[in-house]
C-alpha cells in the first residue's frame, strides 16, 4: 500500500502537468482584455510583440480603432464611454483577423465568429444573468409531416413550469436569414431577457418557442446529420414558402407536449428580418391562429416570381386578417436599416387597407442591438 499511494499521487500530478504543459507560470503575465472601466470605457489589450499593426473591429467603434504598442510589447486601446450594450469585436494583426486570446467568450453569427463583451446598465441589464428565478431552455426534436423530416427547435419554459400544473401562452420567435434555432438564445439573449422581464413583473410568464426557419435544414450546422457544413446566409429553400406552409406542425408538437393555452388569444408570433417576413406571412395565411404579431426589421421580401401559394393573393389575405381581428400587430425597424424603404412600402399597403398596427422606429440598422431591444419591448405587450 505504501508503494501504491506515492505512485497514485505522482500519476495525478502528471495529469495536472499534462493538462497545463503549455503554461509557463514563472513568466506568464496576466492580460485583461477587454477591461470594462467604471466609467463605461473599455480597454482592449493584445500581446503581439512582433506585430507591425494591431487594429480592433468593433460595433462600439464604427470606424475601427488602432491599438498602440507599449514598451512591454502589449498593444492597447481605450475607447470613450460606451452605452450599455452587448458588443462584438475582432482583432486584426498585420491584416489578419484574430480572436482575443484573453477573452473566452465567442458567438457565431452565420459563419462569422467574434468575441463579445457586455457593458451593463440601462437596457443591457436585461441581457445579464441576474439573481432571479430562471426558466429552462431545452432543445427538442419533433417530426414535421409536411417537411418529411425530423427537426429541432429550442423551447424556453418560464421559472416554476416544472413545479406546477398551470397552462401558459406561447410566443413563437423566428430568426433571420443565416440563423437557426440557436440564434435568439445566443445572439438575442432571449432567455435572459425573458427571465428578467418576468421577474420584474413586466411580462407575463410565457413559453417561447424558437424555431429553425430553414425548411431545408433540420438543425443548426454541426448539430444535425449534415455534419460540420459551413453555415450560409441564404439557403436554397429560403423563399420556397415551405417554412410558412409547414408551421402548423410546430404548433401541433408544442400543444401536444407542453401545458399551453390553445386559443388565438394565447398565441404570438414574431421574428427578425427573414423571420419577420415568415411571421407576417404565417399570421396572414392563418388569421385565426395568432392574436399578436411582431415584425422586426422586415417586410414582404420574397421574389416576385415565387409560385408559393402562401405568398399569393396576399393583399386579400391581409384584408381577411384585419376583418378576423387581432390584439396587436407591432412593427419595429431602424432608420438606417437597408430594409427601411421596403418596410415603409409594406406599411403603406397596411395603411391603404386601414390595417391597425403599432410602429416603432429606432436609430441604427439591421443589427442584433435593435432586435434585442424589440424583443424587450414587444414581450411586455403580450397576453395582457
Q: Which of 58, 62, 24, 23 is nearest to 42 (CA)?
A: 58
Structure-block grid coordinates of residue 98: 484574430
Question: Domain check: are 218 and 341 in the same one?
Answer: yes
Mean pLDDT calculated for residue range 34-59: 95
pLDDT in tens, 200-257: 999 999 999 999 999 998 889 888 888 888 877 778 777 888 999 999 999 999 999 9
**Is residue 15 very low, low, confident or very high in pLDDT (cuts 50, 70, 90)?**
very low
Question: Is pLDDT of 4 > 80?
Answer: no
Grid look-up 393573393 returns: 313
Mean pLDDT calculated for residue range 127-152: 97
Could you give the count of Cα atoms lying within 13 Å of 344 in the half-sphere of its Cβ?
Answer: 9
Question: Is pLDDT of 258 > 90?
Answer: yes
Phi, psi of 62, deg, nearest 5: -55, -30
**Which of the pair, 289 or 112, is modelled with greater confidence?**
289
Mean pLDDT calculated for residue range 282-297: 97
Question: Is pLDDT of 131 > 60?
Answer: yes
Q: Evaluate whether residue 15 is within a structural domain.
A: no
* Domain C-terminal end among 77, 98, 120: 120
Q: Evaluate whether residue 334 is within a structural domain.
A: yes
Question: Is pLDDT of 359 > 80?
Answer: yes
Question: Is pLDDT of 48 > 80?
Answer: yes
Degrees (nearest 5) of the Cα angle 308, 300, 180?
80
pLDDT in tens, 84-111: 999 999 999 999 999 999 999 999 988 8
pLDDT of residue 173: 98
Question: Domain check: are 73 and 111 in the same one?
Answer: yes
Question: Domain check: are 63 and 133 in the same one?
Answer: no
Instruction: Give the number of other Cβ atoms within 10 Å of residue 32's Cβ.
Output: 10
- Distance between CA atoms of 15 and 21, rounded to whole angstroms? 10
Phi, psi of 222, deg, nearest 5: 90, -10
* Domain C-terminal end among 102, 120, 138: 120
Question: Domain check: are 32 and 173 in the same one?
Answer: no
Q: Evaluate whether residue 6 is within a structural domain.
A: no
Mean pLDDT calculated for residue range 326-344: 97
- Distance between CA atoms of 157 and 160, rounded to whole angstroms? 8
- Distance between CA atoms of 172 and 166, rounded to whole angstroms? 19
Query: 29-38, 287-296, 317-326: which has the minimum mean pLDDT?
Result: 29-38
* Domain C-terminal end among 94, 120, 146: 120
Could you give the count of Cα atoms lying within 13 Å of 156 in the half-sphere of its Cβ?
Answer: 27
Q: What is the mean pLDDT of the chain?
A: 91
Q: Evaluate whether residue 183 is within a structural domain.
A: yes
> Can you give the CATH number for the domain in which 219 is found?
3.40.50.1820
pLDDT of residue 233: 72
Q: What percent of the chain has pLDDT over 90?
A: 81
Question: Domain check: are 37 and 178 in the same one?
Answer: no
Q: Evaluate whether residue 3 is within a structural domain.
A: no
Question: Domain check: are 102 and 148 in the same one?
Answer: no
Question: Domain check: are 112 and 133 in the same one?
Answer: no
pLDDT of residue 1: 44
Query: 76-90, 299-313, 364-378: which has the minimum mean pLDDT?
Result: 299-313
Q: Evaluate whether residue 14 is within a structural domain.
A: no
Beta-bridged to residue 330, according to DSSP, are: 294, 358
Question: Domain check: are 178 and 88 in the same one?
Answer: no
- Distance between CA atoms of 25 and 40, rounded to whole angstroms? 32
What domain range is 82 assigned to?
24-120
- pTM, two decimal places: 0.89
pLDDT of residue 175: 96
Mean pLDDT calculated for residue range 42-52: 95
Question: Domain check: are 57 and 154 in the same one?
Answer: no
Question: Domain check: are 108 and 137 in the same one?
Answer: no
* Residue 244 Cα distances to 61, 104, 155, 241, angstroms: 38, 38, 19, 5
Q: Would you report the helix, strand and coil content of the chain in percent, each value rounded to 5?
A: 30, 25, 45
Phi-psi sector, 44: left (phi>0), alpha (psi -120 to 50), beta: beta
Mean pLDDT calculated for residue range 15-25: 46
pLDDT of residue 28: 59
pLDDT of residue 238: 79
The total of structural domains in the chain comes to 2
Question: Domain check: are 148 and 53 in the same one?
Answer: no
- Distance between CA atoms of 340 and 247, rounded to whole angstroms? 27
Q: Which of 121, 136, 141, 153 is nearest to 191 (CA)?
A: 136
> Can you give the CATH number for the domain in which 31 is found?
2.60.40.10
Question: Domain check: are 334 and 202 in the same one?
Answer: yes
Q: Which of 316, 303, 274 is nearest to 178 (CA)?
A: 274
Amino acid at each position: 500500500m505504501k508503494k501504491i499511494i506515492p505512485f497514485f499521487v505522482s500519476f495525478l500530478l502528471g495529469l495536472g502537468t499534462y493538462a497545463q504543459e503549455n503554461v509557463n507560470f514563472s513568466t506568464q503575465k496576466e492580460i485583461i482584455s477587454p477591461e470594462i472601466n467604471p466609467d463605461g470605457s473599455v480597454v482592449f489589450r493584445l500581446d503581439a510583440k512582433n506585430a507591425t499593426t494591431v487594429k480592433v473591429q468593433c460595433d462600439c467603434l464604427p470606424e475601427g480603432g488602432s491599438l498602440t504598442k507599449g514598451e512591454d510589447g502589449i498593444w492597447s486601446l481605450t475607447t470613450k464611454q460606451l452605452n450599455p450594450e452587448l458588443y462584438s469585436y475582432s482583432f486584426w494583426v498585420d491584416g489578419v483577423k484574430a480572436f482575443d486570446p484573453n477573452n473566452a467568450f465567442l458567438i457565431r453569427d452565420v459563419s462569422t465568429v467574434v468575441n463579445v463583451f457586455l457593458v451593463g446598465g440601462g437596457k443591457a441589464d436585461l441581457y445579464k444573468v441576474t439573481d432571479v428565478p430562471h426558466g429552462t431552455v431545452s432543445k427538442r426534436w419533433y417530426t414535421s409531416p409536411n417537411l418529411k423530416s425530423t427537426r429541432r427547435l429550442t423551447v424556453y419554459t418560464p421559472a416554476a413550469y416544472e413545479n406546477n400544473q398551470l397552462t401558459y401562452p406561447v410566443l413563437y420567435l423566428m430568426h433571420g436569414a443565416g440563423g437557426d434555432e440557436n440564434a435568439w438564445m445566443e445572439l438575442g439573449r432571449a432567455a435572459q431577457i425573458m427571465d428578467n422581464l418576468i421577474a420584474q413583473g413586466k411580462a407575463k410568464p410565457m413559453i417561447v418557442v424558437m424555431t429553425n426557419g430553414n425548411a431545408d435544414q433540420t438543425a443548426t450546422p454541426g448539430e444535425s446529420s449534415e455534419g460540420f457544413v459551413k453555415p450560409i446566409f441564404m439557403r436554397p429553400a429560403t423563399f420556397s414558402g415551405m417554412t410558412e406552409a409547414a408551421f402548423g406542425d410546430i404548433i401541433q408538437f408544442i400543444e401536444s407536449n407542453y401545458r399551453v393555452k390553445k386559443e388565438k388569444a394565447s398565441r404570438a408570433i414574431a421574428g427578425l428580418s427573414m423571420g419577420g417576413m415568415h411571421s407576417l406571412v404565417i399570421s396572414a395565411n392563418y388569421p385565426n391562429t395568432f392574436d399578436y404579431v411582431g415584425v422586426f426589421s422586415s417586410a414582404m421580401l420574397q421574389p416576385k416570381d415565387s409560385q408559393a401559394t402562401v405568398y399569393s393573393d396576399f393583399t386579400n389575405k391581409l384584408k381577411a386578417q384585419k376583418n378576423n381581428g387581432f390584439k396587436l400587430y407591432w412593427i419595429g425597424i431602424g432608420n438606417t436599416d437597408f430594409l427601411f424603404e421596403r418596410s415603409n412600402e409594406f406599411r403603406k399597403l397596411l395603411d391603404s387597407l386601414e390595417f391597425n398596427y403599432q410602429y416603432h422606429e429606432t436609430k441604427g440598422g439591421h443589427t442584433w442591438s435593435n432586435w434585442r431591444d424589440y424583443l424587450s419591448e414587444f414581450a411586455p405587450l403580450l397576453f395582457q
